[in-house]
Structure 1
């Protein structure tokens, strides 16, 4: 038997230090102890955050606003830095926030506004949030297009994409790293996987520090899929991924990725005046899904007539036309297994249209995770009725604290606690006192069950109810760091 080499005290110390830096994803128990009765891991603020923002628009008349915000009090103690810069080598910073608690904005015009990548460290890292909002007043891509910048990843689901005539769905892939990323895109329609064009949907190379856009219909030529699901994965590296949708006659918006596949989902923030709501669901696994469909309205949960249940076959995309589902009251869609003992994970998104005739405008609401301890959305506008926050408690009563930051041009932060009854959606508007410019909204769970949230930003133009909806998910600003103790037995072989 080969004998292990003895460890030096320095090596032991290094090993212990490394152990204390490992981040666990499980929160400690309420009594501060782990399941085995030992002291639980402490929760510590993250030390570094990464964000990726897609390129805003191909329109020459696009007007884009970038906004960055980190929750917390203005930095009195501690240091930190953050930079968002163009996704090209040697790019100059577009935004460089200096302290938490104060949003920072920048603007860009035309089709040359870049995709962005960036990082934050120190006091600016925990909960760092960025948003890009683009307004295009005329043309095929007219509308308000809003999307939150996201952490780079390796796996994304996009229900509600389309390759049908009249739709242009572009997958935006942004690589923040110094090595190339290799990406696969698969499309699933109502009959399962769409046959791809040879060599176009697999091994798509995204160069380091760059962005690439892929027109979805070119991956499956001849397949006129009105309702489909795109699955974006990486073979090497990681990317930020979002889908920009343009639809003839109803404008344009971003379709963010759905929450991870789960048996129950919440799609929050359907506008009260939605003229049309379509639900698109996909089952990634091998078991069919039977879902109960409910609307969480201000007064409680109701089942939409004729669409109380939805059956979705494994590996296939299903759609349900919910029409004017909300009937004048903002709400959120709840998807749960028809049989709690038989649950198949699904992904889902809503295609929402406001207005009528030539004055229609499109938006998308993917399934969104709970706000958890804290979640933030940037770039809220102080104009009357411009910003509406929707809060949904799918299973149990809850209380949250909502805080409006100062504006990019000043003002005083404002806070409010909100009770959300189980199975309901509550809406509110909140803005900083005397605020000027855009501001951030932060939602913190105070007590009770999980809460899901979404912000609707409405910027009407010439009678068109231009809007965009962004979900708020846990900012994961802390991680669990296990406690380590010296164990001298490692010195013996």
Structure 2
């Protein structure tokens, strides 16, 4: 009797333990193994977003506009239904830009303590703030609750004179531990600063690695750069080495903590702009949004791995893709940069550059330097390799008759894309338009104008169906004959994350 009782008790305990383990292991939704009850993780909106904006300019003749925006339609909630009411009760809905403590003077408004520059109150309506200060600080932007998914901030600066005069635009980025910047320079006449911003309460330690046409550049001064808590540190790249590299690449490797990174490039003759980080190293690369009136297009590629890369080059224009004569392929040696001028490739057509592996799979990073104008009226912007829009992407600062959206479908399938333009409190209802991008082509359009909008507006790009699609936005604000412009890539905003939930899976009992 005792043995039987004990055996039944042990069996019941084992069954309960197995059932509990199965319940904890099962994800939230999606198709699972037949008969198992197991499901793929569902996707839920993020509950908190963090963005970092570098100090905009040191020029006394610079004017900066900040625009913040969150697209409507997604609310951050717990994936567990039984907890949703409690989450809604305690959910914090707030989004604001704060001055990074270490980048502002103690007598600044909020200086040393992270004072608020602007705050966003509701999704679907962009808000703005301006400054003309030459010592404007770097900013740390946080968004919670319903304002977190797709939280976007655009920093746009007009520099009226001096080195780097022109339009400097940047979509503020999330902190990370690795950034690649092909297209930087340490040559005479260029002043390239990498801005490192630490959002956390502990120091970050960063290594700055430079690569040129002959390989890794000796730059011992870039090792172990300390970025104090909630501070920004600008580093002049030419101060790291005596070597003058016209077409270089920079790797920002965060050894301790995390940081944001962006490069501000200024040229004595060609103006300047911000250079955003390239997409992660990949065997294929898409660089969207070459304007039709570009007078110079320079490609800089780095193969950061141990193997050489052989690439095929294609230009995706409005009517299809072509292999440009004389630029059919490019060989990139391991650890070295390769540069090629492609100005005669576009032939007066707007489009995108497509790089693909030629018989290999060696990952590369890449960027284009675009020049518009002639003689002493030239201006420069950059297009880095850009990740696809898997779900949605946003650019916050757009102006009537000044914004151009480039959409490219690099694969064999067409892509259907919905574009929504939303104005601030002084504007009317959002404008929505759906576009079909044919395979192997670039569609260049002016975003739809919000009804009744009197000023700037935000643009959201959503992939509806079809194959991969990549996007960028050009903002052109010509002044005194100078074709001031800036180009921002539109990678996916990563506004959702995979979230597993509990569920029963009794199939384990049969194993």
TM-score, length of structure 2 as denominator length? 0.87
Partner in structure 1 of residue 308 of structure 2:
288
Measured after TM superposition, the shift of residue 431 of structure 1 is: 1.7
Aligned partner (choices 293, 308, 314) of residue 334 of structure 2: 314
What pairs with 1:320-335 in structure 2 (closer than 5 Å)?
320-335=340-355
1:248-279 Cα shifts (integer Å, max 9, x gaps): 11101000100000000100001110000000
What is the CA–CA distance in structure 1 between the aligned matches of 2:427 and 2:480, rounded to whole Å? 29
Indicate the structure with greater helix content: 2
What is the CA–CA distance in structure 2 between the aligned matches of 1:94 and 1:402, rounded to whole Å? 29
Does structure 1 residue 169 correspond to structure 2 residue 192? yes
Distance 1:185 1:408, change over 3 A: farther
Distance 1:86 1:193, change over 3 A: same
- Alignment RMSD, CA only? 2.6
Aligned partner (choices 429, 435, 458) of residue 476 of structure 2: 458
Partner in structure 2 of residue 189 of structure 1:
212
Alpha-carbon contact 1:105-1:408 (below 8 Å) kept:
no
What is the CA–CA distance in structure 1 between the aligned matches of 2:431 and 2:21, rounded to whole Å? 46
1:134-153 Cα shifts (integer Å, max 9, x gaps): 00111112100000001001
Q: Secondary structure at the match of 1:217?
A: helix
What is the CA–CA distance in structure 1 between the aligned matches of 2:210 and 2:24, rounded to whole Å? 42
Partner in structure 2 of residue 107 of structure 1:
130
Alpha-carbon contact 2:24-2:503 (below 8 Å) kept:
no
Measured after TM superposition, the shift of residue 465 of structure 1 is: 0.5
Alpha-carbon contact 1:270-1:352 (below 8 Å) kept:
yes
Partner in structure 2 of residue 479 of structure 1:
497
Distance 1:398 1:80, change over 3 A: same
Measured after TM superposition, the shift of residue 434 of structure 1 is: 1.4
Does structure 1 residue 201 correspond to structure 2 residue 215? no
1:46-72 Cα shifts (integer Å, max 9, x gaps): 111110011100101110000100001
Partner in structure 2 of residue 48 of structure 1:
48
Measured after TM superposition, the shift of residue 38 of structure 1 is: 2.5
Q: Secondary structure at the match of 1:375?
A: strand
Alpha-carbon contact 1:74-1:102 (below 8 Å) kept:
no
Partner in structure 2 of residue 379 of structure 1:
397
Distance 1:15 1:50, change over 3 A: farther
Partner in structure 2 of residue 438 of structure 1:
456
Alpha-carbon contact 1:273-1:354 (below 8 Å) kept:
yes
> Structure 1 unaligned runs (5+)?
1-6
Count residues in correspondence: 466
What pairs with 1:65-464 in structure 2 (closer than 5 Å)?
65-73=65-73, 80-88=93-101, 89-196=112-219, 198=220, 200-220=221-241, 222-339=242-359, 342-382=360-400, 384=401, 386-395=402-411, 396-407=413-424, 409-429=426-446, 430-464=448-482
Q: Secondary structure at the match of 2:238?
A: helix
Measured after TM superposition, the shift of residue 19 of structure 1 is: 7.9
Partner in structure 1 of residue 32 of structure 2:
33
Partner in structure 2 of residue 63 of structure 1:
63
Q: Secondary structure at the match of 1:82?
A: strand
What is the CA–CA distance in structure 2 between the aligned matches of 1:248 and 1:304, rounded to whole Å? 31
Which has the greater radius of gyration?
2
Distance 1:435 1:17, change over 3 A: farther
Alpha-carbon contact 2:180-2:252 (below 8 Å) kept:
yes
1:112-165 Cα shifts (integer Å, max 9, x gaps): 221111211100000111110000111112100000001001100000001011
Measured after TM superposition, the shift of residue 74 of structure 1 is: 10
What is the CA–CA distance in structure 2 between the aligned matches of 1:398 and 1:263, rounded to whole Å? 22
Measured after TM superposition, the shift of residue 410 of structure 1 is: 1.8
Measured after TM superposition, the shift of residue 372 of structure 1 is: 1.0
What is the CA–CA distance in structure 1 between the aligned matches of 2:395 and 2:338, rounded to whole Å? 30
1:82-109 Cα shifts (integer Å, max 9, x gaps): 1111111412111110110010110011
Q: Secondary structure at the match of 2:376?
A: helix
Distance 1:113 1:309, change over 3 A: same
Distance 1:139 1:272, change over 3 A: same
What is the CA–CA distance in structure 1 between the aligned matches of 2:323 and 2:424, rounded to whole Å? 40
TM-score, length of structure 1 as denominator length? 0.90
